[in-house]
Amino acid sequence: MSEYVTKETFEKMREELQRMKGIDRPAASRAIAEAREKGDLKENAEYDAAKEAQGMLEARIKQLEGIISTAKIVDPNSIDTSKVAVLTKVTITNLGTKKTITYQIVGEKEADLKAGKISASSPIGKGLLGKAIGEVAEVQAPTGIIRFKVEGISI
């Protein structure tokens, strides 16, 4: 599945990948070599920890490579604000509680609820995508269906 990201997030991911490949990977190899020199590998906790850290690093490198290879960079200037789409900010009112809140719809990599960014693949994100101002989105939640009215859409 493709990840929708901004140019800024894409560049951050590329920088992180380069750092991991150029700095972290050689450091992990050195840590394993140093631990190996300390004797019997069966009872060497340092060696086990270094191998585990290397495994996690390699898993993260593979994950980032996968995301970068399929990422779709979204240009904020090309977004149609007549309907809710990825990277739009949408102001919604919960029709049950009458609370109004604004979220930015983003890809999973950028989702951060505290910053008001929700994933397009989250239940609320999915429910809002494609809706126009005035339309009501019905979102299935564990407590039942929650209804949100779209009050505004912007960049």
CATH numbers and ranges of domains, the chain: 4-73 (1.10.287.180), 76-154 (3.10.50.30)
* Pair type for strands 72-73 and 117-119: unpaired
User: Would you say 46 and 37 are in contact if contact means Cβ atoms under 8 Å apart?
Assistant: no
First to last CA, the chain: 24
What pLDDT shows up at residue 41? 66
Asked which of 70-84, 96-110, 133-147 is least confident by mean pLDDT, the reply is 70-84
CB 46 within 8 A of CB 35: yes
What DSSP designation does 112 have?
A: B
Lowest mean pLDDT among 39-43, 95-99, 123-127: 39-43
Say how far apart CA 124 and CA 47 lie, in whole Å.
45
- CA 123 – CA 62 distance, rounded (Å): 27
Q: Residue 8: pLDDT above 60?
A: yes
User: Is this model's pTM higher than 0.75 or not?
Assistant: no
Whether the per-residue pLDDT at 2 is higher than 70: the answer is no
Of 17 and 141, the one with more pLDDT: 17
